[in-house]
Chains A and B, each alone.
With several copies, the nearest count.
Chain A
Amino acid sequence: MKEDTVSELVRIQHEDFSIDSEVKRVMASSRGIGGVTIFLGAARDFSKGESITGLDFEHYPGMAEKKLLDIRERALKNFDIIEMSIVHRVGKIDIGENIVLIVAASAHRNDAFMACEWAITELKRTTPIWKRETTQKGDVWVSQTP
C-alpha cells in the first residue's frame, strides 16, 4: 500500500471526522469486506465522580503518529483483517463530540471485532496522547484511562 494512503488511514488531527467517510476509505481497499467493526470514543460529561465540561488533548507529535501506524501494522499482521484505520483528534473537544475512531474491516465479523477491541486497548496503552478535563475544580490532567 502506498505511503500516502496509509497516512490517510492513520491520522492525528484537530478537525472532527466523518465516520461514513472513514468507512468509505477503508471499504475502498477491497470488495471482499463483509464485516466492519468501528469503535468511536466520545467526550462524556462525567468521569470518576466529577462533572466534566470539556476536554483538551495533547500529543507527542511524531511519536504518537508512529505508535498509531505501528498498531495498524500489528493488527494487519496478527488478526485476519483486510484493513484498519485510526483517527485521533487533539486540541479542545466539547462534551458529546468525537475523540477517536478505529475502523477494522474483515471478511467475517469475528476478526473485525477482535482487532478493533485490541487496537483501542493498545492505543490507550502505547500512544503518547494526554487528556485534560475541565471540571469545576479547574483543569485536570488525567493520568490514566481504563
Chain B
Amino acid sequence: MVTVKFFAMLKTLAKSEGKQYEISSPITVGELKELIKKDFPALAGLIDSRSLLVSVNQEFATRTTVVKDGDEVGFLPPFSGG
C-alpha cells in the first residue's frame, strides 16, 4: 500500500486528502503521477507542473525516485508559509 497525500490547492481541486494505492512492485514517482491523473482528472494540469514538489516519506523526491510498499508520498504545491 502506498499512501498518497494532497495538500493545499491540490486537496481543494481533488476534493480529497489523498488515496491509498496497492502496488504489486516498486514504481517511480513519475509512474505514480500517471495513476493519479487517471483517478483525479482535476489535478492533471498541476501535477506535472515544475513548481509542484513531491516528497517520499517526508523527504523531497524527484520524478525518478522509487516508491515502495508502505511509503508515504506527498504532493506539495509551492509553499507559502512564513
Contact = CB atoms under 8 A, between A and B. Distances in A.
Highest count of chain A CB atoms <10 Å: which of B7, B77, B78, B81 = B81
Given A66-B58, A128-B55, A128-B74, A60 B7 contact: yes
B82 A129 contact: yes
A69 to B, nearest CB: 12
Interface residues on A, range: 20 to 34
A57 B81 contact: yes
Contact of A123 (B8, B9, B81): B81
B11 to A, nearest CB: 8
A62 interface: yes
Interface residues of B, number: 16
Interface string A115-146: 00000100111111111100000000111110
A63 B78 contact: no
B24 interface: no
A126 B54 CA distance: 12
Majority-rule SS of A interface residues: mixed
Contact of B78 (A41, A62, A88, A143): A143
A47 B10 CA distance: 22
Contacts of A88: 81-82
Contact of B82 (A60, A62, A63, A100): A100
Given A58-B7, A60-B5, A60-B7, A130 B58 contact: no
B71 to A, nearest CB: 13
A145 B79 CA distance: 8
A59 interface: yes
Given A63-B55, A63-B74, A127-B79, 7 more contacts: A60-B55, A60-B76, A124-B79, A129-B79, A141-B8, A144-B79, A144-B80
Interface of A: 41, 57-60, 62-64, 66, 88, 99-100, 120, 123-132, 141-145
